[in-house]
Amino acid sequence: MNYSYLKDIKVGLVLAILVAIGTSSCGDTFLEPDPKSFLTPQNTLIDRSGFEAVLLANRRALGTEFYGFHAGILSEYYFTDIAVNAAGPSVHPHNMERQITPTGDGSAKIIEYWDRGFDAVNYANIVISNIDKDRVNWQSDEERNTVLAEAYFHRSYWYYRLVHQFGDVPLVLEEVQEPRLDFNTFTRESILTQIKNDMEFAVQWLPRDVEPGRENRAAGYHLLTKIYLSLREFQNAEEAATQVIDNGSHALMTDRFGNGPYADNPDFNVLWDLHQKENISSSGNTEMILASQDQIDTEGNRGSGNQMGTQMIRNTLPVWWWGRVRDPNGAPGATDGPAGNPLSDSLGRGSGFCATVPYYNYTIWQDSNDLRHSEVNWFSKDDFYYNNPSSEYYGEPFVGEFIQDTIRSWYPFAYNKLYVRDEVNETRKQGGHSDWYIFRLAETYLLRAEAHYWQGEMGDAAGDINVVRERAQATPVNAGEVTIGYIFDERARELYMETPRKTELTRVAYIMAQSGRNGYSIDNMSQDNWYYDRVTGKNVYYREELTYGANTYRIRPYHVYWPVPQDEIDANVQGNINQNEGYSGAEDNVPPLDLSDLE
């Protein structure tokens, strides 16, 4: 039976606190009846500890998209310039025109983002709506403002994502305490303005130093930079990014550091160290601004079953299962051992769901000096060897089209980022528990470079890009070479599987349309936009509409925004939730509201 998610988010307080309890130590007394522990705002949200329980649910939500089988973050890459969905069954979306619809099965992971975003918004609104109740005992104004600042951060983070995934969406600024059927769509611009105002308050009160997993002031300014860019306040974006870069607490890692495999091997480099699980949240990593917490021995991680942990090996690395590996004679090239496949046992079970395209694998890596693409950080097919003793090619590197399913066997790939050691599944490793970057200083430099670019300051833009490139020992870029496309090439080289790429591509498309740049216009953004031109210009699967199995890779300009789930529109009988142009139902849209309608 269909139901509205927005209608059903009324009981977030109990769920949030139960989530928080589930991440704390649990003894035998947890299941014993205790009337005093009945969870209501009246007896829970009375001091900072009660609010912290709700905020903990928000912190966990930040990293949810990076974990699990077919993790949500994959959808932020499938429909972009650098990757496609290579899962075989027809239910997996390849043809966006046919499969990404308001009611389509292929939209399941997209709808997860709608649900996840509004769930997190409601958690934040629980804090915001209760923070000034008479029952709350704050020790100081600073304590109250710090808690409010974090709630604003979480609400702003998810609205930033929602407006660049779904466009105009409902704006909910208070706790939903009972079922509602009267939500209304607000303009993207008004929502961005609201979260800008919230974050300008938040950055004054977020603490400078926090334990890993919590939002510090630098994270606040990093998010505010993105919001300023979206609103075309480019000077403000530059200044917000500078607050992070010059705060004295953060710096790019330029020398070897930390622990983990090959820490003492001089053949490896800082780009290897930067992405090892032991180092992401370490005190010596001055580049990390915000990271989700999921180490296997960390209280509150996401469990230890097959579907837990990052699953990055299975989600993002090529297929090399024994039954699919063939030598040049067509004979099996890998053996199947009693515990599984020796290749999988040692290297993990790559399933190739998120397949990067030739533009990403080869074209953007023309600089042979770039450490990010060095042989210790990326694996090519000649790093793999036939291990079937009965094969004539036993012990020799893989050659030719050695996998039956060629779309899922692209090479090379970013081994340093995507191979996450799995301490739970000793055979057929799928990608273990690990912290994961959400904000990293390298992105802050590239955001400031973008702010300079929009202001026509190409020399300054090149300077910020080159800080990142010089750490990788790559050739510096000249001011005359800086374009928005080049900046997104650099983002691809530096930030693959860290930042939500579809969100950021759409952000730039929105900037260009609102600004009337390069012939784009907000009035016909669903018919002509930079996002579509970038994707079809770089991704050969979408450009040539290649076919895989029963599906053709197809994308249209209106896919700059994902469809609003039809269930939400249908259930909202007392209000108006609009559908995005290009999707069925958009003909019933009404003018969206703006902030003046809240007055």
Rounded to 10 deg, the angle between the 48-63 and 141-166 helix axes is 30
Pairing of strands 378-379, 413-414: antiparallel
pLDDT value at residue 10: 41
For the stretch 546-550, contacts whose Cβ atoms lie closer than 8 Å and that sit 24 or more positions apart, written own/partner, are 548/86, 548/88, 548/94, 548/407, 549/88, 549/90, 550/90
Crossing angle (nearest 10°) for helices 484-495 and 441-454: 180
Q: What is the pLDDT of residue 389?
A: 81
Nearest to 52 by CA among 8, 16, 1: 16
Distance CA 26, CA 23 (A): 8
Q: What is the mean pLDDT of residues 569-594?
A: 97
Q: Give the pLDDT score at 407.
A: 77
Tens digit of each residue's pLDDT (9 = 90 or more) over 260-278: 889 999 999 999 999 999 9
Backbone region of residue 569 per phi and psi (left: phi > 0; alpha: psi in -120 to 50; beta: other values):
alpha
- Provide the β-strand partners of residue 85: 354
Check the CA dihedral 370-444-60-167 and report its sign: negative
- pLDDT greater than 90 at residue 31: no
Band (pLDDT 50/70/90 cuts) for residue 25 is very low
Span 515-552, pLDDT tens digits:
999 999 999 999 999 999 999 999 999 999 998 877 89
Q: What residue type is assigned to position 289 of the chain?
A: I
**pLDDT score at 475:** 98
Q: Which are the contacts of 63, defined by CB distance < 8 A and separation ≥ 6?
A: 291, 292, 293, 294, 436, 438
Reported as a pLDDT band with limits 50, 70 and 90, residue 426 is low
- The pair of three-digit structure tokens given for residue 569, joined into one six-digit string: 């529109």
The residue with greater pLDDT, 302 or 272, is: 272
Name the helix (H) or strand (E) containing 537.
helix 530-538
pLDDT digits (tens, 9 = 90+) for 114-160: 999 999 999 999 999 999 999 999 999 999 999 999 999 999 999 99
Say what the pLDDT of residue 304 is: 41
**What's the half-sphere exposure (Cβ side, CA atoms, 13 Å) at 342?**
11
- Above 60 in pLDDT, residue 14? no
CA dist., res. 279 & res. 130, Å (int): 38
How confident is the model at residue 474, as a pLDDT? 98
CA dist., res. 13 & res. 9, Å (int): 10
Average pLDDT of span 486-507:
98
Domains in the chain: boundaries = 1-206+517-599
State yes or no: pLDDT of 9 exceeds 80.
no
Q: Quote the CA–CA distance of 97 and 415 in Å, as a whole number.
A: 33
Q: Given 3-state DSSP classes, what are the helix, strand and coil percentages for the chain, each rounded to the nearest 5?
A: 45, 5, 45
Q: What tens digit of pLDDT does each residue of 324-380 get?
A: 677 788 777 666 543 345 455 567 778 889 999 999 999 999 999 999 999 999 988
Does pLDDT of 298 surpass 70?
A: no
What's the pLDDT at 348?
73
Residue 323 clears pLDDT 60, i.e. is over it = no
pLDDT band with cut points at 50, 70 and 90 for residue 22: very low
Percent of the chain surpassing pLDDT 70: 86
pLDDT band at 306 (very low <50, low <70, confident <90, very high): very low
Between vectors from CA 493 to CA 488 and to CA 497, what angle results, nearest 5°? 90
Please provide the DSSP assignment of 256-304 as one string: --S-STTTT-TTS-HHHHTTSTTTTT-TT-TTEEEEE---TTSTT---S
What pLDDT, on the 0 to 100 scale, is given for residue 390?
81
Q: Does the pLDDT of residue 35 top 70, yes or no?
A: no
Return the pLDDT at 16: 54
Q: Please tell me the predicted confidence (pLDDT) of residue 37.
A: 46
> pLDDT-derived band of residue 450, with 50, 70 and 90 as boundaries?
very high
241-257 confidence digits (pLDDT tens): 999 999 999 999 999 99
Pairing of strands 378-379, 551-552: unpaired
Cis peptide before 412 (omega within 30 of 0): yes
Is residue 562 a contact partner of residue 527, using CB atoms and an 8 Å limit?
no
Q: Could you tell me which CATH number the domain at 1-206+517-599 has?
A: 1.25.40.390
Share the mean pLDDT of the chain: 88
Q: Are 352 and 358 in contact (CB under 8 A)?
A: no
Quick check: 211 pLDDT over 60?
yes
